[in-house]
Amino acid sequence: MSERGRGQRGQRPWSVCTSEMLGLALAGNGLDPDEPVLEFSLACSDLITPSLDRKPNTFVAVSCNTSEPFWTKHAQTEIIEGTSNPIFLSSIAFFQDSHINQQTQVKLSVYDVKDRSQGTMYLLGSALFTVKELLQDKDHKLHLTLRSAENERVGTITLVAWQMEERRDQRTPVSRLPDTINGRTVLSVDESLTESLGVRAKYASLCKDTFLRSAFGGTMSRMYRFPTTDGNNLRILEQMAESVLSLNVPRQFVKLLLEEDTARVIELEELGELSPCWESLRRQIVTQYQTIILTYQDTLNNLHNYKGPSFKASSLKAERKLEFMPTNLHVQRMRVQDVSGFDHTYDLVTIGAPAAHCQGFKSSGLRKLIQKFEEAKKIIYEEECSALSSSQSIVYIPQDIVRAKEIIAHINTLKTQVSYYTERLSRAAKERSSNGLERTLAILADKTRQLVTVCDCKLLASAIQALNAARPEYIASKVSPSADAEQVVLRNDQDTLLAKWSGSNSRTSLHVDWHEEEWEKVWLNVDKSLECIIQRVDKLLQKERLHSDSSEDMAQNDQQGGSTPKKGNERTRAFWINPASAEDSSSSSSSSSSSSSSSSLPSSQHVQPSSSSSPPSPTPPSSSSLPVACHAGSNRNSANCEWSEALYPLLTTLTECVAMMSDKAKKSMVFLLMQDSAPTIALDLSLQYRRDVVFCQTLTALICGFILKLRNCLRDDGFLRQLYTIGLLAQFESLLSTYGEELAMLEDMSVGINDLRNVTFKVTQASSSSAPDMLPVITGNRDGFNVRIPLPGTLFDALPREIQNGMLLRVQPVLFNVGINEQQTLAEKFGDTSLQEIINLESLARLNSYYEQFKEVLPDDCLPRSRSQTCLPELLRFLGQNVHARKNKNVDILWQAAEICRRLNGVRFTSCKSAKDRTAMSVTLEQCLILQHEHGMAPQVFTQALDCMRSEGCRRENTVKNVGGRKYAFNSLQLKAFPRHYRPPEGTYGKIET
């Protein structure tokens, strides 16, 4: 929700209608791109029907023409039943794309509906007027006589135009202008909307805002005027738009999956030569991956070849070519202007339940499938453990598998960072920047030590042993170890090495001392290489400081007429690192380094990290790798070269040692994961594919919601602080039943939403203001995805420094589900509702945790204001009571969760099977509840307003977009099972294919 305060300003009626003002009235409001060029409300009086024993059920159809004799239907009002004097809540709005002018004729046709369920109606009467007549009237109010087809008078229709405020620079000052026109409030438009991008404006147009327009399109709008308890009126703009992200996000996401699985195949191939049994296992796994890769390639081709609308209709939810696209994804907006002078915007995202429709639901959904998969893995693990006593195999526990994936991720990240800061250090040396050298070295040392810490673990040592044992040339003569430490020959692809049995207390398998020792030398090489660099940088900086001090001394001596020769200024220092040296020499060099560090100008030393398995050292004859003699008396022009050449061989060695350590560690972890996945690879990949499909649909909706929230809250410092401190709350509302296929859909959806916890956002500055450059960019893999949101420069500058500096923004997703249809009745009487209860309990715990985090670190003024007398802790307590109550179709859970989400600056999502029918009921109900609770809409018109939105609002048009008909897919029998507030008005539903 967003709010914008305005000073209380008077509004002026159009008392004099000049041609200039007429033109202005129809030019559209330049201050607000969503303002209609013309809006009027309708009311009828004294309607006469042929049957005097019944009062009419009427609505008004509005048609217009600019080129006679063709009439085009423009809009219609809701149906008001049983009165001869109806006052319609839906106003008639002409937006800029209507292309009306002063000469446009408008026809008002009043219909009497005899049977709403059958759609039986007849024309009661009609009236004509031109736009110019309405604008020229002193009060912009027309009373027109309704005449039947036989030209008989059948009543009166009254229309009142709503005034749009003129630009300040185009109006003349008028003192004490009236606030109303004929008893009806005239609402002005905030001048802060003069900027097309409205940098600090809370309201951004879906139609005109450059940033939002890059992601959303096909916007349709509806206008309403609802009375309030204090006798004023609310002006409501309802909008619905589709998003190009429905296609853009799946294309990016599938491409990332394709790259990830291709990389996995490459990793398996890079393991090198394996013994026949392991090679056969690798071939099986690679074959399975290649099959799934082909599937992703076909999907990506289908998505790129798709030329349809930028949303997937509900009738296509089982279309395999489009299975990664979310079903019927739209953004729904309600903008409210009230007499208090505030503008409020409420956004939510509607999406068909994220589920793998193409794969079906006979085998249940993701939740149960994952549970079955984990049980199968557990059985295999237990079988391997029981066979361990007769085998030398190494069995890894599930925690090892998780740890292995973490190690790979850490190695990939840290290796890249070490490489980056190594290059930065080299650049600082070339530039002879003492501060840069110190700062960069500190970061490089930290990242390198983190990498060494990751690699210094027993799991890696045992995995390296297992990989070595899987080589075809590996030979181990297994005999009973004696007390005399019998030697055993091990042969691998590289060379012949020696290892020792551990003695009488060893385990039956080959002891890993040799492998652990050799692996220790590998990561110790990295550690010692880093120490060499640190020591060398210290010496260079010491020398720099001494040179600076001696220059000052010499200057002073010159002034005193004498000079003191500088000791050792002709001595040279040579640092040489040889990765192929023995380990013991490194220890001696370390001691010599420490002893020489006390000397301001030490003699040359050799710092030598050990290990025979280290990478080859830089070739000594090469001029780039030879130790450089640095003379204190060298001139300043060669000083930069001195620093760079002194550090070059050390940095090269560190890079090579890090590369070798990372390579060994990563290969061993890949081999470990290969062993783990081999028995269940087919099931694993099938399950992963289903999870990918569901997650992609959910991710697309999340990105849409994030973009809307970020754009609308650019001036809300409290929200932005909350965003980078504890993350974004994403609350999903589901209306799925827990019976039949929808139960499996709910399982899919719950897993997809939980997986959103692995998503982070990062806001960047867009390279240009063109639409493609402002679309989100997704990076990462299944372990974690990052979504980069490019903002135009003017918007980016409005962000706090923390977000501008690239802070990753987290997401806390929650899901509340309450089934409301007839299938839920069956589930409650004969089935099982436990899944719904578990999901709601889990989400309640997360929601409470999120609020606790908020209270710990943020003040209450970060949250939006509310007219509600119920505080957030009380709301959470009520929600907890309802979640634990186990009451059938307890929709209070949905209402309270939605209010808590809005009060916590969250993003709202609403779903049912296709986001078309039950979702429409929920969205319109939520809008009316907001209007009543937050804006004082009169309670006596609540039901009428609800029916009005459902019959003439944007969600009715959503049914047309999906199935081609303006009816919700319900029948009378079904609706008897629905909670009362979720039933559409008569005549708006019927049998239709969904």
Q: Which residues are catalytic?
A: 912
Tell me the C-alpha distance between 138 and 158, whole Å. Answer: 15
Bond preceding residue 69 cis, omega within 30 of 0: yes
What 8-state DSSP symbol labels residue 393? -
Residue in the block written with tokens 């560190």: 654
In single-letter form, the type of residue at position 630 comes to C
CA within 13 Å, CB half, 677: 26
How far apart are alpha carbons 232 and 959 in whole angstroms? 33
Three-state DSSP at 269 gives: helix
Per the structure block, which two tokens stand in for 69? Answer: 């004799």
Cα-based angle 905, 911, 916 (whole degrees, multiple of 5):
125
What pairing do the DSSP bridges indicate for beta strands 343-350 and 907-911?
A: parallel
Q: How far apart are CA 455 and CA 523, in angstroms?
A: 7
Please, are residues 297 and 258 in contact by the beta-carbon 8 Å criterion?
A: yes
How far apart, in whole angstroms, are the C-alpha atoms of residue 240 and residue 222? 9
* C-alpha distance across the termini of the chain, in Å: 32
Handedness of CA 195, 764, 442, 404 (dihedral sign): positive
In 10 A of CB 890, how many CB atoms? 17
| C-beta of residue 349 within 8 angstroms of C-beta of residue 940 | no
CA 337/CA 4 separation, integer angstroms = 10
Q: How far apart are CA 61 and CA 897, in angstroms?
A: 38
CA-to-CA dists, residue 893 to 498, 609, 752, 813, 815, angstroms: 68, 64, 21, 16, 11
CA distance 443 to 425: 10
Report how far residue 870's alpha carbon sits from residue 862's, in angstroms, rounded to the nearest whole number: 17
Question: In terms of Cα–Cα distance, which of 833, 832, 835, 819 is closest to 974?
Answer: 819
Q: Which of 381-387's residues contact partners 24+ apart within 8 Å by CB, and which partners?
A: none
Beta-bridged to residue 269, according to DSSP, are none
Length reported for the chain: 994
The answer to whether the CB of 829 falls within 8 A of the CB of 789 is: no
Residues 354 and 365: their CA atoms lie apart, in Å, by 11
Round to whole Å and give the CA distance between 421 and 186: 62
Q: Which amino acid is at 116?
A: R
Nearest to 32 by CA among 184, 209, 235: 209
Backbone angles phi, psi at 763, to 5 degrees: -100, 130
Q: Which residue type sits at 110?
A: V
d(CA 147, CA 606): 108
For residue 817, the Cα-to-chain-centroid distance in whole angstroms is 21
Q: Is 114 helix (H, G, I), strand (E, B) or coil?
A: strand
**Distance between CA atoms of residues 99 and 102, nearest Å:** 10
Rounded to whole angstroms, how far apart are CA atoms 656 and 480? 40
**Residue entry with tokens 């806390």:** 812
Q: Which residues pair with 80 in a beta bridge?
A: 58
Q: Which of 182, 186, 189, 132 is nearest to 163 (CA)?
A: 186
